[in-house]
Structures are given as C-alpha cells and as structure tokens.
Amino acid sequence: MQVPLTFYIFVVSMFLWIFPIARQYKSELFFYFLVLGLMDPVMLIVYSIIPDFPIRFFAGLLLLLAVMICINGKKSLLTFTLFFILFVLIFLLNPLKISPIIFIIIHFVIIYFFFKRTIMFSAANGKLNLFHIFLLLEEISIVLKAIFVLFYNVQAFPSFYITSIFEYFFALFFSFYREDDERVQIKLGDR
C-alpha cells in the first residue's frame, strides 16, 4: 500500500512545529505556539480513537483560547466562559458539518488580533516587526489550507502543498526568532 504525500507533509509538519515551542518558551506567545505545535499530534491521537470527533474545531478553539490568554496577559473568567459557551453551542448544532467553517472563522479572529498587535507595536515603537508579519502569514496560510481541504478538489492539492511548504519555513523562522528579537525589527521612518 502506497502512503499518500499528504501523510508525509503531516508528519514533517508535526516534527518541525515542536521546535518553536521550545524557542518561544517564557514569551508572551508561548501558549499560542504550544497549542499550535501540539494541535496536530493531539488531533492524530484523538482521531485514531474517535474517528467522528471534530478535532479540528476543538483545536481551533484551543488556539483561540491560547491567543486570548496571550492578549489578555492572564487567564480570565470571561475567556473561559466564552470558550465553554462556544464549545457547547457547536456541539448542540451539527458539529461535523459546521466545524470546518467555525475553524476558519476562529482563525480570522486570530488574524485580526495579530494584525492589531502588529499595528500597535509599529505605532508605539516606530518599527515593523517581521515576527508579527510571519505570524499573520502563518495564520493566513492555515486559513487557506483549511479552505483548500474544505472544498477538496483536484485543483486544491497544489495549493495545499504550497501552503504546507510555507508553513515549514514559518516553523523554522519561529524556531530561531522570538518577538522581542531586535534582528527582526525594521525601523520605520526617521524616528
């Protein structure tokens, strides 16, 4: 039996996303990278036990939770309450049909928060942080890949492979650089 290329892409991705977890340890975005790095291995394990479980949705909620924790700087009761309400509402509806759409919506919310973080940093410091740009590009690639998988047709496979290759580069970038690294900050204007 021949193993599909998507399996190898998945395994390489799981391996590469372990390194940013270590590099981002004790940073503001550590929980984001922790969830991002563990999302695929956890999904694989749970899906092998419960094939019908919409783990992609669950992973998306966890990722949103991690971003909310990082943005708030603390674990708030409101964040956990919103997480719980969303989780319950989705499972009262038909989760297998809407979970990919919810996953994409959640990542758009994350893109919004990272965009806001990028603008606020640039306005306050007069610098453009490439780390923020790569965070935005990573999230956009996740959304694009989800859209390609959601529509699952022959034309989507090359795009799926291309976004996967970009995600490898993002994983390597985040393995070497942190948000506070001066080497990835570009001065804007005459400040």
**Residue of higher predicted confidence among 32 and 137:** 137
Copy the structure tokens of residue 64: 């949103």
d(C-alpha 76, C-alpha 104), whole Å: 24
Tell whether the model's pLDDT for residue 109 goes beyond 60: yes
Tell whether the model's pLDDT for residue 101 goes beyond 80: no
185-187/127-129 β-pairing: antiparallel
- Tally of residues, the chain: 191
Nearest in space to 132 (alpha carbons), one of 172, 68, 185, 66: 185
Residue-level pLDDT at 64: 63
Residue 170 phi, psi dihedral angles, 5° rounding = -65, -45
pLDDT for 39-83, tens place per residue?
778 777 877 787 766 555 666 666 666 666 566 555 566 666 666
Nearest in space to 17 (alpha carbons), one of 167, 179, 180: 167
Residue-level pLDDT at 60: 62
Residue-level pLDDT at 120: 93
Banded model confidence at residue 32, pLDDT cuts 50, 70, 90: confident
pLDDT for 129-169, tens place per residue?
999 999 999 989 888 877 777 766 645 667 777 888 888 99
**Concatenated DSSP letters of 115-144:** HHHHHHHHHHHSEEEHHHHHHHHHHHHHHH
**Total domains present in the chain:** 1
pLDDT for 78-99, tens place per residue?
666 666 666 666 555 555 566 6
Residue appearing with tokens 């570009």: 186
Percentage with pLDDT > 90 across the chain: 28
145 backbone φψ class: left, alpha, beta (φ>0; ψ -120 to 50): alpha
Residue range of the domain that includes 169: 5-187
